Amino acid sequence: MTDIENAEFLLDRHGPVMIIRLNRPQARNALTRTMMQGIGAAVIAAETDPSVRAVLLTGTGDRAFGSGMDLRAFAGGTDFGGGQETDAYGRLAKGQTSIPVIGAANGTAIGGGLELLLGSDVIVASAAAKFGFPEAKRGLFAAGGGTSIGTRIPLGIALELLLTGEFIDADRAYQIGLVNAVAAPDQVFDTALALAEKIAANAPLGLAATKELTRLAVTDSDLAEQRLSKWQSIVFSSADAKEGAMAFVEKRSPNWQGR
């Protein structure tokens, strides 16, 4: 757990759900090297701890989930790359973690903040939140994963967001499928946590297979087909598959082992 006052990120647990919280509300939760490496370390810990079945990613405050890279640090020459933790952060932003990630957009998510949020498998957004990629207005482009947003929303809308640098509100984000649900600002975390608990109640191996194959089906159908047979041999012969069947027959809740 991380409970140090003024820490740039906070970790908590709610049963099988690990909660990662960006914690720089005074800077609209802009990402620093410390935050990125800390989040990456938390991802590694979650993936190697069988008691963690889902990750909930959110921010502190009600103004912003994340405003992207800390431009003051970037302009000052801070090195944001390198290392196992940074690689794990990159996998999170690309949706490549082995466990489900639920995003709770407590406020606006733009630039790198939105790229990080897009690593979530499902997203609950505050009704007051806005979303967008302003990089084109700053002489940059959304190089941290934003250019793949067309795999999640219609291509024309993706290009409009990226090329104009303009923002959309939560209702529009829901209409185009960018977020899964919109909640009142004071209900975002609880709504996301309830969803995370519902997901975490399912079998870990089945969740891992479902997440990887569903994402690959959109980005690399040939690889998805190859991985399908691999996952079938793992999941359908697992102890959890047998436990799921027995629990159904015996009308009880299953006791998953993740194997």
Residues recognised as catalytic: 115, 135
Cβ count within 10 A of residue 6: 7
Tell me the CA distances in angstroms from 114 to 48, 109, 180, one per residue in order: 26, 5, 15
Quickly list H helices, the chain: 33-48, 71-75, 84-93, 112-117, 155-164, 170-175, 188-200, 204-219, 221-235, 239-249
Task: Return the sign of the alpha-carbon dihedral for residues 155, 157, 163, 167.
Answer: negative
3 state DSSP class of 28: coil
Rg of the chain in Å (alpha carbons): 18
Strands 108-110 and 167-169: unpaired
Supply angle C-alpha 254, 44, 148, rounded to 5: 95
Strands 9-14 and 17-22: antiparallel
Question: For residue 65, what are the contacts with CB-CB under 8 A and spacing of at least 6?
Answer: 22, 29, 58, 59, 103, 104, 105, 106, 107, 108, 109, 113, 117, 129
CA atoms within 13 A on the CB side of 21: 24
